[in-house]
A and B are shown apart, each in its own frame.
Chain A
Amino acid sequence: MTGGVASPAGGGRHRRAPEHFRRGLLTHALILAAALALFGVDRTLGWAATVLTIVFLLFFFRHLAFAVSAARWAERDLDAPLIGVESFTPSIAVLIACKDEELVVDGMVAAMLGLDYPADRLTVVVVDDASTDGTGAKLDAWHAANPRLRVLHRPAGAGGGKSGALNDALAMVDAEIAVIFDADHQPEASVLRRLVRHFRDPKVGAVMGRCVVRNGVESNLASTIFIDYLSGYLVNEYGRQALFELPAYGGANCAVRTGLIRGLGGWNPHTVTEDTDLTLRLLLDGYRVRYDASAVDFEEAVLSISRFWRQRYRWARGHQKCLRDYWRPVLRTPYLSPMEKLETILFLWVYHVPVLCGLGLVLIALRAAGIGGSSAVEVISLSALLFAGPFTELAVGLVLGRVSRKAVWMLAGFIPAFGMSILTATKAYVDGMWGTTYSWSKTARSGATSAPVQAPPPVMAEAA
């Protein structure tokens, strides 16, 4: 029941994508030049503004629809009773990839050992991916004290980044479901039972839980990201499931059938956002991803602007690559209805929208300088998209999260964040199209809020 294998006819196997899209970039430039030459500057820019307006309004109403659906239904979902979680316990392998994580590894392992699941149905595998700090020794000490924690040491240069580490861990286990966490994560004890309950439906290939930031107290940026996550998970992800049954599988706090992931050739080492990549591959093979807002784990947010920039750049770069890789298969797949195809394309397009916002701002600036047609319409639609849509999502996230009123002032911090997202997405777009080499960049941790909550870390044994 829980061990489906991807169909050979499916389009979900990961593929090697072209290294660059310079030709596409050139084509865009040529079309613009031709339009300017044929129709003149004002008409061309006027048409461009009209197209942008339509796109902005489409995305605004998409965000608004998610906010409305979450406001209407999510509150009760968070409190809803669980059904049959004691009687449905497929075997689970929890897989965690760690690279230089000594600041957070103790809290993570303690949380893993505190998970509520039958011990004979649960394996925990932590991969030490050639760490150069004390991560490996700490993991060995934990293993000595708790043999049911398995540790895999990968040699330096094993390659593949997080995907490679997860694929190696997957080879070690024989469980029906793999549940993935990151090294800085500390799930609530009930998370496994809440995640796997959805696998009763054989059509479900993966289940995503909800990530919550736990170190908001460390900086204003972390607190802002905490609020961003509330809206991202309680509103956006929730709305995608409620209205389209198309939530995204994330990189951590998520479960996937091991039979499926093996059939799909494992996690894709050629992408920096293996989660979005896997979402697409599952959908293209006729499986569904489910989202459980009550399966919660706590993680660290980045603390500095430069790290925030790097993280968001990676997300934008990987997500944009997924659009380039998968838009054609998505339009062709027989497993999605036209409405679902539209939503999937919009979802893949999300990290291109800030690029278009930047373009809209350029058009407005040109208009202010007297170049181009009337831009009144796009000011309204752009401001609706940039502010009203996200602020409405944030408002619903804050209310659903029952956050105290003081947090409303943190919303002001989102205005520069929107500006920054325009820059990161635009840079990622240009770099991605040009084919600039880019590989996985590890997110640095703080570890200040990762004290083990279940048990103290074991004393380091000399033998270890």
Chain B
Amino acid sequence: MTLVARRLDHALQQRSRRRLVPTGTARRRRLVGIEMALAVAGCVGGYLLFIDWARHFEVRICEQIVLALGVDRVSAALGDSFIVFGPGFEPVVAEMTGSCSILSSVLALAALAVIVLRERPQVVVGFAVATLFVLAANQLRLLLSLLAGRYFAVDALIFFHDWIGAVINFAYTLIGLLIMIGMTMYDAQRAEQDHTGRHTADRPEAWARPGLGHRVPLAADDAPQDAKVQVAAFLHRKILPRALSVRLARRRERTRVDYRVGHEKAARRAAIVRDLAGKGLGVHTATLLAVATHETDTGVLDALADAVAARQWEPIANADVIALRLWARAWLMRAPRETGPAPTGRLIAVTGAGGPAGVAVIRSLQAAGDEVLALDANPDAVGLRLAGRAAVLPRADEPGYAQSLLAVLAEHRPAALVCTVAEEYQALAPLTGRLDGIGVRTWLPDPASAETCLDKVAFATALHAAGVPHPATAWTADTAGLVPGPWVVKPARGRGSRDVILVDEPADLPHAFFTVPGAIVQTRLEGREFTADALVARDGALLACVPRWRDETRGGISVRGTTFESSEVTATVAATLRAVGHSGPANVQGFVHPSGAVTIVEVNPRFSGGLPLTLAAGADVVGTYVAGILDPAADLPPLSYRPGVRMARYFSEVYYTADAAPVADPMLAGVAR
């Protein structure tokens, strides 16, 4: 150990042993002791200084009352005395002694007000009213004493002094104390419990101070009623200048907890917290601190910590803001998080968050560091739980969709909107201008092209015209018989494998055709089924084509697949997308005949449910598409991929309560059960 280190060590030891610095408890005791000593000194000093003045003052008031009443045989005030002539004209000097004055009572009340109740400003009014009461009561006592001496006997006058006087003095001082306490307490509107201990303030349970009232339903009569005279409201509306009133309101807001927030659901709480923090940390500080103190939902706490972290530029308004920043620092440092991607700072909205394509897009964006606003018509859509922000919209074919969508996007202001439901294109296309207006960029396919893809009759016609191999297709009962079998009968507009019937016997064909609504009949193809995930640039160039074998599907979704490479498939896919005039993401389905011939069955003008395999194979179609949305003029690169990558899917779960609060995953390591 060096000499410097030794000396430093010695100095530190000396310092810790020094008894001059008291413990926290001893310091508190000392502070309270000093306060009480000052109060006693104030009472004694005040009495010595003011007692003569107080006696004269009270005698003068009493003199005025006697004069006003017209009582005879009582002299005018002689300093601090009266001369009273009793029934037999015997004179007596009635002197106002120190113990007859209210000064000691007033000083005691003042001392209690200052050292005990000063946290409540209402104590000032309480003290003033209590003092007036004590003064009036003592004047009454003095007057009665003089009258008793005047009309009954001199002894009676004395009767009001001495120890009986002391008892009377004590009684009205006690009543004065009760008046002061009562006026310092909370009125029914602001109180949190009534005199029987029932909770009356409707505080959210998690946010309420513990033990402030037993929670039982209150009868209408017992609930706190609005005060008949609202002094504060009158003062602010009619008396105070508006500027001062507003200034006071702002100051009040800083220290007022808005308990309504605690009654909201978790997602809404997070949004409110962002809004409140967005106005500045010094504006709704008490409410933000209450969230940091009581909130248990990690989503809400994340939102608050992020909001606080985003406002580090802001000048510190008060000590509570420092407390908030310290909390946010600890919260963001709380546990070694998995090393995720660096945040891009972008917010991307994704529609169809409940579908497999939507979920794949959300996860892909999050993996790239984007924040996601998930949108879906189903409040239970799983993607709503995966994304940091979420909103439920009406279905695209329902009225109010456009309005709701615009409102949500205007609130969150995402940089881009990714649509994973092709049926929404029709509703979205007219909104692109307004979306641009609020800074939300989109890249939607040409409506006619999308329509061609969705309508299998138009699609067959287009492919036929372009010479792209497509199974023989009929859409009328007359021509259905001309299509060679075996057949597949499906709706002209449909998703997944809904209402698809496989027919082998010619006799069954008419029945199947009339069973399926809006049916078309196609020759069922032989060979191996594939799907190709594709991305077409705005100029029509094919940026990506990642074909995969559909080794196993469930409900129309690929659950097992393998990427492969085939120039014929790629060429046919490119020709198909050219034929329909598509741009943006698409998935193209078809068959490869054992002979090698490629036939295209349909095109979905959106991302596919098997998208994760394409991403795993190395083709970042999502990232490239988003880049193309954000910069329409960008020269997007062609994407390569790795053939032979296999995918086996399994179920995964998220858990949440009815009010959307997340529930811990029991299968995650480190989660206590």
Task: Identify the A interface with B (CB < 8 A).
Answer: 61, 64-65, 67-69, 71-73, 75, 78-81, 118, 120, 188, 190, 194, 210, 212-214, 216-217, 222-223, 226-227, 242-245, 293-296, 298, 339, 367-368, 376, 379, 383, 387-388, 391-392, 394-396, 398-399, 401-412, 449, 453
Contacts and interface: CB of A to CB of B under 8 A. Distances in A.
A379 B166 contact: yes
A67 B216 CA distance: 30
Contact of A294 (B35, B118, B163, B210): B210
B497 to A, nearest CB: 45
The 4 closest A-B pairs by CB, nearest first: A296-B211, A216-B196, A407-B195, A404-B191
B194 A405 contact: no
Contacts of B174: 387, 391
B177 A399 contact: no
Contacts of A68: 32, 35-36, 115-116
Contacts of B672: 118
Q: Which of B35, B120, B174, B210 has the most CB of A within 10 A?
A: B210
Given A402-B190, A410-B195, 16 more contacts: A65-B32, A118-B672, A223-B197, A243-B28, A243-B32, A294-B209, A376-B163, A387-B170, A394-B181, A398-B181, A398-B185, A401-B212, A402-B201, A404-B185, A406-B188, A411-B178
Given A399-B117, A404-B195, A383 B170 contact: yes
A210 B198 contact: no
B181 A188 contact: no
A405 B185 contact: yes
B287 interface: no
A5 to B, nearest CB: 27
Nearest to A89: B672
B589 interface: no
Contact of B116 (A210, A243, A387, A396): A396
Interface of B: 25, 28-29, 31-33, 35-36, 108, 112, 115-120, 163, 166, 170, 174, 177-178, 181-188, 190-198, 200-201, 209-212, 214-216, 224, 292-294, 327, 672-673
Contacts of A73: 28
Contact of B32 (A69, A81, A392, A411): A69
A396 B177 CA distance: 13
Contacts of B197: 212-214, 216-217, 223, 226, 403
A369 B190 CA distance: 50
Given A68-B115, A395-B117, A406-B188, A79 B108 contact: no
A65 B181 CA distance: 18
A388 B105 CA distance: 11
B28 A405 contact: no
A415 to B, nearest CB: 8
Contacts of B196: 216-217, 222-223, 226
A219 B183 CA distance: 25
A123 to B, nearest CB: 17
Nearest to A75: B119
A298 B214 contact: yes
A71 B117 contact: yes
Which of B35, B166, B212, B327 has the largest count of A CB atoms less than 10 A from its CB? B212
12 contacts: A64-B36, A71-B119, A79-B209, A213-B197, A298-B214, A391-B178, A399-B119, A402-B190, A402-B209, A403-B186, A403-B195, A404-B195
Contacts of A394: 181
Contacts of A190: 210
A368 B163 contact: yes
B186 A405 contact: yes
A71 B327 CA distance: 26
Contact of B212 (A69, A387, A391, A402): A402
A79 B293 contact: yes
A67 B185 contact: no
Given A69-B32, A405-B185, A405-B188, A392 B209 contact: no
B214 A243 contact: no
A406 to B, nearest CB: 5
A392 B181 CA distance: 8
B117 A406 contact: no
Contacts of A296: 210-211
Residue from the set A399, A402, A404 with the largest chain B CB neighbour count within 10 Å: A404
Contact of A210 (B112, B117, B211, B293): B211
Given A78-B209, A388-B108, A404 B188 contact: yes
Nearest to B191: A404
Contacts of A67: 116
A187 to B, nearest CB: 10
Most chain A CB within a 10 A radius of its CB, from B117, B182, B214, B216: B214
